Amino acid sequence: MSRAQTRGSRQGRAGIRDVAAAAGVSITTVSDALNGKGRLPDATRRHVREVAERLGYRPSAAARTLRTGKSGLIGLTVTTYGDEPFTFTEFAYFAEMARAATSAALDRGYALVILPATSRHSSVDVWSNVALDGTVVVDPSDHDPVVSELIRHGLPVVSDGRPAGSLPVTAWVDNDHEAAVLGILDHFAAAGARRIGLLTGTTTDTYTRLSTQAYLRWCQRIGQDPVYESYPAHDPCAGAVAADRLLARPDRPDAVYGLFDPNGTDLLAAARRYGLRVPDDLLLVCCSESMVYATTEPPITTLSLKPRRIGTAVVQLLIDAIEGVDAGRRVEQVIPTELIVRTSSQRRPHRTTVSPPRTPGPG
């Protein structure tokens, strides 16, 4: 064991000098290798990281702050859903996205600070009092005051969701929501649906707006009158009421796509109240990452927006912006969706019972 390794293990915490000595490189090379900077050969970068891991080296947050003027903290918040408190991590999409974002941040030497969404104005006040290097904002609305205030303070902002209008975010990551909705509508039509409905929201984020517009354009193209109900997406009780309204309409749909996580169970419960069988009388799809839909009766088809990929991507883009990678260039990234087909959207074929031929009896 080298002197550096012995000293690191004896004193409990290795320093950057110990890593440099054990790896046989300079302190500058260690810093560049661990921070993803400099023009180092991949083999050198891997070697330094392996040595640092073996010695248990962790960069000092205080030293980095003094050296770079950065805190090593990045933020994550949701600003879209009204002025009432909204614990967004209770929903499967946000929980998975936040977990992936946390891991991606730690891999780059940053910590993620998650603030449950409150009113827009109090969010501005809270974020201005936290020493952040940058922020991820989920589903910002038109002219979002939180985003505008963060940018005014000089913080890079990356959006999970395509920002509307001219909101000046540094970068954004999103899905192709129009293509996803059209794929679901085609899936319904192939299963025999003739009047397809939509359960949507009243918010102005691009996910809701683009998905709803895609549905309305599809209705216009095929000559179907739109059949939809909308409600405030942050209010789960309102979702159940809207599902009931949709299935109580005189022009009741024979297939429904729900944009939000609880819509699958809301629609399934409403169908039972009205004596509708799923999938025989009503086909269902909802957008959700929850595995509960694999075990409902019947299992419900879901659209996955791939939140883990999105969480990793937004953090990588944010840290690149903080560290000056691709400075001045707005980056836009589209993540593909996945339709997980289950029983609720597959109409069973009608069975024809054929009696076996009768054996002639004795005459």
State the residue for tokens 């005014």.
152
Spacing of C-alpha 157 from chain mean position: 16
Q: Boundaries of CATH 1.10.260.40 in the chain? A: 3-59
- What pLDDT, on the 0 to 100 scale, is given for residue 42? 84
- What pLDDT, on the 0 to 100 scale, is given for residue 98? 92
Q: What angle do CA 281, 287, 289 make, to 5 degrees?
A: 120
Q: Boundaries of CATH 3.40.50.2300 in the chain? A: 73-175+308-335, 177-304
- What pLDDT, on the 0 to 100 scale, is given for residue 60? 59
What pLDDT, in 10s, does the model give residues 243-294? 999 999 999 999 999 999 889 999 999 999 999 999 999 999 999 999 999 9
Domain 73-175+308-335 part of CATH 3.40.50.2300: yes
> Residue length, the chain?
363
- What pLDDT, on the 0 to 100 scale, is given for residue 59? 66
Domain range 3-59, CATH class:
mainly alpha
Answer for the pair 36, 323: CB distance below 8 angstroms, yes or no: yes
- Cα–Cα distance for residue pair 6/23, rounded to 1 Å: 14
pTM of model > 0.85? no
CATH topology of domain 177-304: Rossmann fold (3.40.50)
The three-state DSSP-derived secondary structure of the chain is CCHHHHHHHHHCCCCHHHHHHHHCCCHHHHHHHHHCCCCCCHHHHHHHHHHHHHHCCCCCHHHHHHHHCCCCEEEEEECCCCCCCECHHHCHHHHHHHHHHHHHHHHCCCEEEECCECCHHHHHHHHHCCCCCEEEEECCCCCCHHHHHHHHCCCCEEEECCCCCCCCCCEEEECCHHHHHHHHHHHHHHCCCCCEEEEEECCCCHHHHHHHHHHHHHHHHHCCCCEEEEECCCCHHHHHHHHHHHHHCCCCCCEEEECCCCHHHHHHHHHHHCCCCCCCCCEEEEECCCHHHHCCCCCCEEEECCHHHHHHHHHHHHHHHHCCCCCCCCEEEECCCEEECCHHHCCCCCCCCCCCCCCCCCC
Low-confidence ranges of the chain (pLDDT < 70): 1-13, 36, 58-69, 80-89, 116-129, 165, 326-328, 348-363
